[in-house]
Structure 1
């Protein structure tokens, strides 16, 4: 069940729009499933913990076989499918994807949203923690936010880094990567792209200027 809500942040306003009721302990939703054979309830506490109950309306008791690993059978499969379907809908409509958690990453995402009206696009199912920004007018990328291990940038450490790839003119890229805290473009054409760690090593004000330049470069054919 937790997989539906991994890397996602709860939007409480959207819970109410979906149909959840606010209670003293959090939020509560119920829905009849499988031709009203069951009543499924979903409770989300104030701290975001999700719990469920599947009530067999014929007996009034909780049904749990769909939660037991290695249980099989057509009917159990139908119950499990209905269970997953509701949680998937709640995750899609009431949660927002959150991958990049560093303060500077959040600043940059807010800046791009406010200035360009663009949102991150997660294009790769195999790499759910990598995303790009592209211009709306010509669909060209002007930035990528990625998570990488330090060794990929020639750094030490085991904790994954949040980085941004930006466009630059070849002479500017060469000049930048000869400075501290700038790296050759990760997974990009290293002649035209460079990388910065979103850990505050490069001030946000400087990053905003570089993003503006990258955005303009993406306009060129």
Structure 2
């Protein structure tokens, strides 16, 4: 299982980006954004699993990333990847960090999202 701190460490080392917490009083929703254009390439949140259609009210950590439109459908067929929660469902997906434990796969999706939002 990958932790939100693993994601923060990866984007810090690779892109020099630290998480941004734009919502006052909410330190669990972290935006990952480009330094130059300030566009988001990731959003880490804790939400209840039911918001992804899972049969649970347990809080889970998720990561939203932007992907190429042609990959949205195939990605959603993978375990742990869902329609984007609280984002454009045509261009973004939500990754349940409890279900997708391969750091390399998540890092690849972050890298793609970074490129797509440059």
Q: Using structure 2 for the length normalisation, give the TM-score.
A: 0.91
Unpaired segments of 5 or more residues in structure 2?
Answer: none
Q: Does 1:180 align with 2:79?
A: yes
Equivalence for 2:62: 163
Shift of 1:129: 1.6
Q: Distance in 2 between matches of 1:167 and 1:136?
A: 17
Q: Distance in 2 between matches of 1:214 and 1:202?
A: 19
Q: Does 1:113 align with 2:15?
A: no
Equivalence for 1:128: 27
Equivalence for 1:218: 117
Shift of 1:150: 0.6
Q: Distance in 2 between matches of 1:128 and 1:105?
A: 12
Q: Distance in 2 between matches of 1:176 and 1:194?
A: 8
Q: Does 1:142 align with 2:46?
A: no
Of 174, 188, 203, the match for 2:102: 203
Shift of 1:178: 2.1
The SS at the match of 1:108 is: helix
Equivalence for 2:88: 189
Q: Distance in 1 between matches of 2:25 and 2:77?
A: 32
The alpha-carbon distance between structure 1 residues 106 and 212, as it changes in their structure 2 partners (threshold 3 A), is: same
Q: Distance in 2 between matches of 1:179 and 1:114?
A: 27
Q: Distance in 1 between matches of 2:4 and 2:17?
A: 15
Q: Distance in 2 between matches of 1:164 and 1:191?
A: 16
Contact 2:23 2:29 in 1 (8 A): yes
Q: Using structure 1 for the length normalisation, give the TM-score.
A: 0.50
Root-mean-square deviation (CA), in Å? 1.6
Tell me how many residue pairs correspond in the alignment.
118
Q: Distance in 2 between matches of 1:200 and 1:181?
A: 5
Query: Higher relative contact order at CA 8 Å, sep ≥6: structure 1 or structure 2?
Result: 2
